[in-house]
A and B are shown apart, each in its own frame.
Chain A
Amino acid sequence: EILLTQSPATLSVSPGERATLSCRASQSVASSLAWYQQKPGQAPRLLIYVTSTRATGIPARFSGSGSGTEFTLTISSLQSEDSAVYFCQQYKNWPSVTFGQGTRLEIK
């Protein structure tokens, strides 16, 4: 099973600043990585797939990068509504997929 480790566990950033979230895979997943946002009391929402492609309706301030085992979700110009938990997901061996444990993003 491919394990995903996200860091940091919690991140606190001021509005207008940039947040950088990391996801490390236990083995190469090539570009088969997605990111999801989950706000309190809501279902997760797809943000990014195939490492860097934004899903429909996702603002351009969300961007993804990386390949192999190291991936990054960057949120530029943070807004209050970006406060959420962010999960990465790999699907290298689809349909078997795994999720990271999540990074909680707090807006100061």
Chain B
Amino acid sequence: QLVQSGAEVKKPGESLQISCKGSGYIFSDYWIGWVRQMPGKGLEWMGIVYPGDSDTIYSPPFKGQVTISADKSTSTAYLKWSSLKASDTAMFYCMRQGADSDDGFDVWGQGTMVIVSS
């Protein structure tokens, strides 16, 4: 399973890192992705990281806006902002890519709500 860190309330300009801890499988063998879901909206793919070697790929709209990383020693993936904006307010989910690229995202975290407000 994937267990995400708790909800956050932050001010614009603050930094934030949320986490996603895997268990029950070999964390370093599976890609972990992140999606954003703004209130009442659909799913936006942000990027993906391979914990085995930290290879990271970003969706163009999110490149430079967030940092995705993983620590295989603690089976944890991270999503980090250096300077939050009000428009970052959303629910964020991590998910595991199945063993093959054809397998879809087969395990999801419970989500982390981030609220950015002055």
Contact B43 A87 (CB under 8 A): yes
Query: Nearest Cβ distance between residue A102 and chain B, in whole angstroms?
Result: 5
Query: Nearest Cβ distance between residue B113 and chain A, in whole angstroms?
Result: 11
Contact A99 B45 (CB under 8 A): yes
Report the separation of the CA atoms of residues A101 and B35 in the bound assembly, to the nearest whole angstrom.
13
Contact A49 B43 (CB under 8 A): no
Report the separation of the CA atoms of residues A89 and B97 in the bound assembly, to the nearest whole angstrom.
13
Chain A residue with Cβ nearest B61: A1
User: Does A59 sit at the interface, judged by CB under 8 A?
Assistant: no
Contact B106 A99 (CB under 8 A): no
Return the contact of B110 from the options A43, A55, A91 (Cβ within 8 A): A43
Interface residues in B, total, Cβ within 8 A: 25
User: Does B59 sit at the interface, judged by CB under 8 A?
Assistant: yes
Interface centre among B105, B106, B108 (most CB of A within 10 A): B105
Interface residues in A, total, Cβ within 8 A: 25
Contact B48 A55 (CB under 8 A): no
Report the separation of the CA atoms of residues A35 and B111 in the bound assembly, to the nearest whole angstrom.
19
Chain A residue with Cβ nearest B111: A43
Report the separation of the CA atoms of residues A32 and B104 in the bound assembly, to the nearest whole angstrom.
9
Chain B residues near A (Cβ < 8 Å): 31, 33, 35, 42-45, 48, 57, 59-60, 93, 95, 97-98, 101-106, 108-111
Closest 3 CB pairs of A and B: A49-B104, A34-B104, A43-B108
Known: A36-B43, A46-B105, A96-B59. 4 other contacts (CB 8 A): A34-B105, A44-B93, A96-B45, A97-B45
